[in-house]
Amino acid sequence: MDTLFRMNWQLRDSWFVWCENVPQIELSAAREGGHGTILQTLFHIVDMEQSWMRSFAGRAEHHFHYEDYADLDAIMALSDRCRPFIEDVIKAWGPEKDQEAFSLFGADGRQIETTCGTAIRYVASHEIYHLGQLSMWARQLGYEPVEMSLLLTDPFGLRRPSKAKGRSRQR
CATH of the domain at 79: 1.20.120.450
Q: How far apart are CA 166 and CA 164, in angstroms?
A: 6
Q: Indicate the number of domains in the chain.
A: 1
Considering the domain boundaries, does residue 10 fall inside one?
A: yes
Mark out the alpha helices in the chain (DSSP H runs): 2-19, 24-28, 38-56, 72-92, 95-99, 116-140, 150-153
- Residue 3's pLDDT is 87
- Residue 109's pLDDT is 87
0.85 exceeded by pTM:
yes
Considering the domain boundaries, does residue 170 fall inside one?
A: no
- Residue 164's pLDDT is 39
Considering the domain boundaries, does residue 166 fall inside one?
A: no
- Residue 2's pLDDT is 86
Each residue's pLDDT tens digit, 106-144: 778 899 999 999 999 999 999 999 999 999 999 999 999
Considering the domain boundaries, does residue 38 fall inside one?
A: yes
Per the structure, the complete domain to which residue 6 belongs is given by 2-153
Each residue's pLDDT tens digit, 14-53: 999 999 999 999 999 999 887 899 999 999 999 999 999 9
63 is in an annotated binding site: no
130 is in an annotated binding site: yes
Q: How far apart are CA 124 and CA 122, in angstroms?
A: 5
